[in-house]
A and B are shown apart, each in its own frame.
Chain A
Amino acid sequence: MSDQEPVIVEGKRVLGVVPGTPPGGERKVLDEQEPVMVWPHLLVRHGVAALVVLVISLLLGLFFNAPLREIANPLNTPNPEKAPWYFAALQELLSHFHPMVAGVLVPTAIIVGLMALPYMDRNPRLAPRFRKVAVATFTLFMVAWIILTLIGFMFRGPNWGWVWPWQEWYGEL
């Protein structure tokens, strides 16, 4: 043995190989339900997530300038007159329904409904396929809201008339 070249595995000299299985069993199976230390397991992931978010916002700032139009003039109403994009769905509703409905009832119902959701949905199941009613209702609401937001933001032009965003653009961020 002594006159042979040593076998090197990953920088370590192998002195011998013991037959049989390792005392800790074969490969360790990761248990998804097993509690593990937040530090480092979660902190590392949160650190990476934080950096990704920061990089995205810092790069956006590098490439796109925030808009600044001419000075506010109460005598010169722009056409169309647009609310910020996150209120575009409400503004779109306002053009179809009575202000009492679109401006008061709908937003109040949404906020109260969201707050009441965990008290109304008492189904203990977690997987979406066992919560069809709740998932369908929420998804329907979300899709409707996103469509209304997109319409109000991109598809509305002067006098709140319909425009195609690839022809005329009136969205403002």
Chain B
Amino acid sequence: MKVMERVRESTIGRSIWRVPDRATERDRAAGHWANFFLHIYPVKMRRKEMTFRYTWFLGVASVVLFGSLVVSGIYLMFFYVPSPASAYGDMQNLQTEVAFGQYLRNVHRWSAHLMVLVVAAHMARVFYRGSYKSPREFNWVIGVILLVLTLLLSFTGYLLPWDQLAYWAVTVGASMAGFVPLIGETIKGILLGGDTVGSATLLRFYVLHVAVLPTAVGLLVTIHLWRWRKDSMLDSGGVDE
């Protein structure tokens, strides 16, 4: 620790951390605000809101799973081409030839299922805690959008292995879009890029899965956390207990 203090107090250390002295709470708050990774947190929170009982830590679990999915997903992207001619072969190659390919695919798959569960449980926990009440209404709305995006991320990823499981699950799922009155067939056409699941669908789902949806989730999570921090010390005007 002595070495770390010396580093912090050096010229370079001061340029990086800016607040080298962490003796008092005020210093620590200043250090907190000067840190990119910590500034998404409030500086102070009520003691009871930090307990396991209060949140079950489902929000942070969702973020961790999303992070783990991004990391494992990027690794998988190196070995996968989204075309019906190569997708399935790439999956087999990934599982047999690529170092840790099978393992990272497993982690990606199970983390995705877990994330759907955890995000849904997070919503239920927030509901029973009453944490969606004024002034946090809009953050709940963002949370609902994030739940829908999580389902879409999982659904678009489901097609990518291009096996029987993927193909028919997406065929069933996409057929539901066709039932929307008047514009149903149009929506289905845009989603699938044709009448049935094919090469256009695979490319569309891939682009949605690796670019569009993760960016949207990342942006909305940022807003979600920013609002959480801003509202962290506000009362909902209600009386607890």
Residues in chain A within 8 A of chain B (CB atoms): 30-39, 41-43, 45-46, 49-50, 53-54, 56-58, 60-62, 64-74, 76-78, 81-87, 90-91, 94, 99-100, 103-104, 107, 111, 114-115, 117-119, 121-128, 131, 135, 138, 142, 172-173
Contact = CB atoms under 8 A, between A and B. Distances in A.
27 contacts: A37-B25, A37-B29, A39-B38, A41-B45, A43-B38, A60-B114, A61-B107, A64-B106, A68-B165, A71-B164, A85-B113, A99-B176, A100-B181, A103-B176, A103-B179, A104-B181, A104-B184, A118-B132, A118-B133, A118-B141, A126-B130, A126-B236, A126-B240, A127-B130, A127-B240, A138-B124, A138-B128
A-B interface, 7 closest residue pairs, ranked by CB to CB distance from nearest:
A124-B238, A61-B106, A72-B167, A118-B137, A61-B107, A126-B130, A66-B109
A115 B141 contact: yes
Interface residues of B, number: 89
A31 B48 CA distance: 8
B83 interface: no
A67 B148 CA distance: 24
Contacts of B42: 38
B173 A84 contact: yes
Given A49-B57, A83-B172, A104-B179, A68 B95 contact: yes
B50 A36 contact: yes
B144 interface: yes
Nearest to B38: A39
B22 to A, nearest CB: 9
Contacts of A173: 109, 113
Contact of A57 (B32, B43, B68, B169): B68
A118 B140 contact: yes
Contact of A124 (B84, B137, B237): B237
A81 B172 contact: yes
A15 to B, nearest CB: 28
Contact of B164 (A43, A73, A90): A73
Interface string B109-131: 11101101010000110011110
Contact of A56 (B105, B114, B151): B114
Nearest to B135: A118
Contacts of B118: 53
Contacts of A34: 46-47
A72 B164 contact: yes
Given A84-B158, A91-B172, A103-B176, A70 B45 contact: no
A135 B236 CA distance: 18
